[in-house]
Structure 1
Amino acid sequence: MPESRSLMAFDFGDRWIGVAVGQEMLGRGSGVARLKARDGIPNWEEIAKLVETWQPDLFLVGLPLNMDDSETELCHRARKFARRLHGRYHRPAEMVDERLTTHEAKQDLFDRGETPDYAREGVDRRAAELILETWCAAQH
């Protein structure tokens, strides 16, 4: 039976970071924020507020691998972001293969008929939801 850990997932990017939360037992994510980042560096106070509000047991950070499994510079930055989450909030952080999540998120929003303005914001949140759901599916 799945555990009931609270999860917080991040779709890490240089300019924007999507955030989703969920319960491992349910296996579903809900997008809660799209945070501005500068060269991959977020406003840590905003993340602290989210951590305080949602009290996650585990952080999940998307790893943007190339289709041939090779790593990009963004992979190194995402790993660094995960280490900082762990160091600041003393909770484990795991990397999750996020290949094609942004593409899938865009398609999901298009299929729902979302407006272009919402879609721009919604993609990062939806990608974070997909990262969380991908991790949950791999656990069970």
Structure 2
Amino acid sequence: MTDDRSAFRAALPDGGRLLGLDVGTKTVGMALCDAQWMIATAAETIERRKFSKDLERIKVVIAQQHVVGFVVGLPLNLDGSQSKQTQAAKSFAQNLRPVGLPILLWDERWSTQAVTRDLIAADVSRKRRSEVVDQMAAAYILQGAIDGLAAIE
């Protein structure tokens, strides 16, 4: 588990899909990128239960989509300091370690706000926004990470 993109990149095989996670208190948004790390796409939102139940669903996605690494959104405060939500996301990521895949912690400040603003601009209903915002935030986080990975190659 690292926030160093170079170390994360070194731990990955060449190619393979990454799973982006936007960890909230009630839901986890999931997104996937293609094997060439070009485009992130919203996948699904799971309701948080016990971690073991969340992990069951994540493991299914890993197996079905041939995932080789995680990008977990790290909700820092605007000044870069950590909050309770930061610690919760780190704990979630720490609990993913037994899966055995590399984990990158990615600064996710503004992700939900940016996605919500785009959905409002697209005239998406409030109900539909609440259904997709977490998975779209995960895609926003994952896209930032894969763009960052491309910059170090």
Q: Same fold (TM over 0.5)?
A: yes
CA contact (8 A) 2:16 2:66 kept: no
State the distance in 2 between where 1:137 and 1:27 align: 8
CA contact (8 A) 2:20 2:70 kept: yes
Q: Does 1:23 align with 2:49?
A: no
- TM-score where L is the length of structure 2: 0.82
Residues 89-104 of structure 1: pairs in structure 2 closer than 5 A: 89-104=99-114
Q: 2:119 aligns with which of 79, 92, 109?
A: 109
State the distance in 1 between where 2:34 and 2:77 align: 28
Give the equivalent residue in structure 1 for 2:46: 35
Counterpart secondary structure, 1:19: strand
The alignment's C-alpha RMSD in Å is 1.8
Q: Quick one: which amino acid aligns to residue 53 of structure 1?
A: Q
Q: 1:128 aligns with which of 114, 132, 138?
A: 138
C-alpha offsets along residues 5-37 of structure 1, whole Å, 9 cap, x if unaligned? 311000011101100000363432111110111
CA contact (8 A) 2:17 2:37 kept: no
Structure 1 or 2: larger helix share? Answer: 2
State the distance in 1 between where 2:78 and 2:113 align: 13
State the distance in 2 between where 1:52 and 1:76 align: 28
Q: 2:86 aligns with which of 68, 75, 79?
A: 75
Counterpart secondary structure, 1:43: helix
Structure 1 or 2: larger strand share? Answer: 1
- TM-score where L is the length of structure 1: 0.89
State the distance in 1 between where 2:72 and 2:57 align: 17
State the distance in 2 between where 1:91 and 1:53 align: 15
CA contact (8 A) 2:31 2:41 kept: yes
C-alpha offsets along residues 56-76 of structure 1, whole Å, 9 cap, x if unaligned? 111000000001010011111
* Gap regions ≥5 residues in structure 2: 1-8
Q: How many residues align?
A: 137
Q: Does 1:118 align with 2:128?
A: yes
**Which stretch has the larger CA shift, 25-34 or 113-122?**
25-34
